[in-house]
Amino acid sequence: MIEQEVFDLVVAGGGPAGIGAAVAAARNGTRVLLIEKAGYLGGMATDALVPAFCPYSNGEEVVIGGIGLEILEAMKKEGYESPFYDYKPDRMKAFDWVPIDSEILKRVLDEIVIDSGCQVLLHTHVTDITCQDGFVESITVHSKEGSRLIKAKYFADCTGDADLVAMAGGAYEYGDKNGLVQAGTLCFKVANFDTERFMKYANEVGEDGNLNVASKKAKEAGEFLEGEKNVAGIALQADGVAGFNFGHVYDFYPLRASDLTRAEIEARSKIPEMIKFLRKYVPGAEKAVLVTSGPHIGLRESRRIVGEYQLTKQDYNNRMQFEDTIARYAYPIDRHAAKLEEVDHDSDDREYVASKYKNGEYYTIPFRALLPKTIKNLIVAGRTISSDRAMMGSVRVMPACFATGQAAGTAAAICTKNNQEFREINIKSLQENLRKQGSIV
């Protein structure tokens, strides 16, 4: 039941971007409704059990502040202090690759969103949109109650798939030139994991989060999974509990239910083989048991909007400093293969390694990358902002999504106060407001 029918801002999607947008706008006095199709907030972190937050720092200093950092700290405060990555001297341990406790995160997000004054509708799917002369007038949402229309002055598309932009007829790009997107992964958690034994091993071999040494051994014995280079990631979430980002499903269209069905079933069928590998090759995992896999297969990529500015790989390489910057970031270009045949077993993640910045460096994200062409009262945040495919490999990860979300919500609050369009906003006042909220601009 929502308490009012008129909103300044409706945010579609309650992942990192949507949370950033909804909380920032509500704290700035805006009447906000956040709509999420799952029964909890968090997006990929809770709905797909992605096991860790990508770095918040550039190795030297924290580059993502604001609501994203607040959430990280709140989750850590309630959770188990993971010993993970102690052996990686180049990491700012408290901020980089922090393991996610998805149950704690769900509650932290409920609290922060409710405390902001934002209204929330879970179990509600945005299914349609009406537009007039380049303005979104209303959206249709569907739940067990049936369908209904919701009106607002401004809308934020934080669906991870640019659903609203697509429904409104806005321009977008999809995947590579062959229409393929990065593989998906069904993340999972195991219990009965000997954390101490694993840490001892990790420290001895200098093993990184991808378990390269263990994967190589298994490959030599012909016992590694087809289509895998290594384990995409392990994160120790509590004593005895480890989360895995492991196993790829290639060549499916993530916006089609029949393809998603095939991908979910294929991904689940691979888990027993992965557990077998872990038990045999990863010290500490000998008695590991599967506790759960993600409610939803993790999706790395679908649509990217065509916005007023498109971020490119060149911008990444040039460490671009934009005048209308709304965030900084420094994560490398992390692009997973789209097809089984593209998996490069000999590479040590070539593009990722080659694109790594030196400690202390960063690029900036311009406000214009959040503005879809032709639709005036709709703003976009998260992994679907306007970028080329390579750049998306960097901006798609959660800390950056919180930051673009916070900028989108703050912009909506300023526009509400001034009764103006997103394109008319005074960038300096947007940047000033973001800094006041702790964002690093």
Ligand X SMILES: Cc1cc2nc3c(=O)[nH]c(=O)nc-3n(C[C@H](O)[C@H](O)[C@H](O)COP(=O)(O)OP(=O)(O)OC[C@H]3O[C@@H](n4cnc5c(N)ncnc54)[C@H](O)[C@@H]3O)c2cc1C
Q: Which is nearer to ligand X, 125 or 197 (CB)?
A: 125
**23 interacts with ligand X by CB under 6 A:** no
Within positions 102 to 141, which residues make up the interface with ligand X, using CB under 6 A? Answer: 125-126
Give the dihedral of Cα atoms 224, 236, 58, 185; nearest 10 deg. Answer: 40
Beta carbon nearer to ligand X, 9 or 35: 35
Q: Quick check: 298 binds ligand X (CB under 6 A)?
A: yes
Q: Rounded to the nearest whole angstrom, what is the least distance from the CB of residue 282 to ligand X in the complex?
A: 18
Binding part of the chain for ligand X, among 146-154, 200-208, 271-279, 292-300 by CB under 6 A, reads 292-300
- Minimum CB distance to ligand X, residue 284 (Å): 20
Q: Are 167 and 248 in contact (CB under 8 A)?
A: no
Amino acid, single-letter form, for residue 382: G
Residue 10 interacts with ligand X (CB under 6 A)? Answer: no
Q: How far is the CB of 300 from ligand X (least distance, A)?
A: 4
| For ligand X, the closer CB: 52 or 278 | 52
Work out whether 156 is an interface residue with ligand X (CB under 6 A).
no
CA dist., res. 211 & res. 207, Å (int): 6
Contact call for residue 12 and ligand X (CB under 6 A): yes
Are the beta carbons of 17 and 34 closer than 8 angstroms? Answer: no
> Does residue 393 touch ligand X according to CB under 6 A?
no
The H or E element containing residue 141 is: strand 135-143
Cβ nearer to ligand X, comparing 160 with 284: 160
Nearest partner of 11 among 136, 148, 115, 107, judged by Cα? 136
Within 10 A of 173 (CB to CB), how many other CB atoms are there? 18
CA 78, distance to chain mean position in Å, is 22
Q: Is 132 exposed, middle or buried (0-12, 13-18, 19+ CB in 10 A)?
A: exposed
- In the set 53, 84, 155, 277, which binds ligand X (CB under 6 A)? 53
Stretch that binds ligand X, among 51-59, 189-197, 266-274, 367-375 (CB under 6 A): 51-59
Contact status: 185 vs ligand X (CB under 6 A): yes
User: Does position 28 bind ligand X by CB under 6 A?
Assistant: no
What is the pattern of x (binds ligand X, CB under 6 A) and - over residues 214-233?
Answer: -------------------x
Number of residues that bind ligand X (CB under 6 A): 39
Beta strands in 287-340 (DSSP E): 289-293, 303-305, 325-329
Closest C-alpha among 32, 35, 27 to residue 7: 32
Q: Which is nearer to ligand X, 71 or 199 (CB)?
A: 71
For ligand X, which is the closer residue by CB, 138 or 192? 138
In the complex with ligand X, the residue whose CB is nearer, 160 or 409, is 160
- At 19 the three-state DSSP class reads helix
Region for 259 from its dihedrals, namely left if φ exceeds 0, alpha if ψ lies in -120 to 50, beta otherwise: alpha
Whole-angstrom distance, CA of residue 155 vs CA of residue 22: 11
Is 245 in contact with 54 (CB distance < 8 Å)?
A: no
- Among 204, 415, 431, smallest CA distance to 326 is for 431
Kindly state the smallest distance separating residue 268's Cβ from ligand X, in Å: 14
Residues at the interface with ligand X (CB under 6 A): 12-18, 35-38, 43-44, 47-48, 50, 52-54, 125-126, 158-161, 163, 185, 187, 233, 245, 298-300, 382-383, 396-398, 401
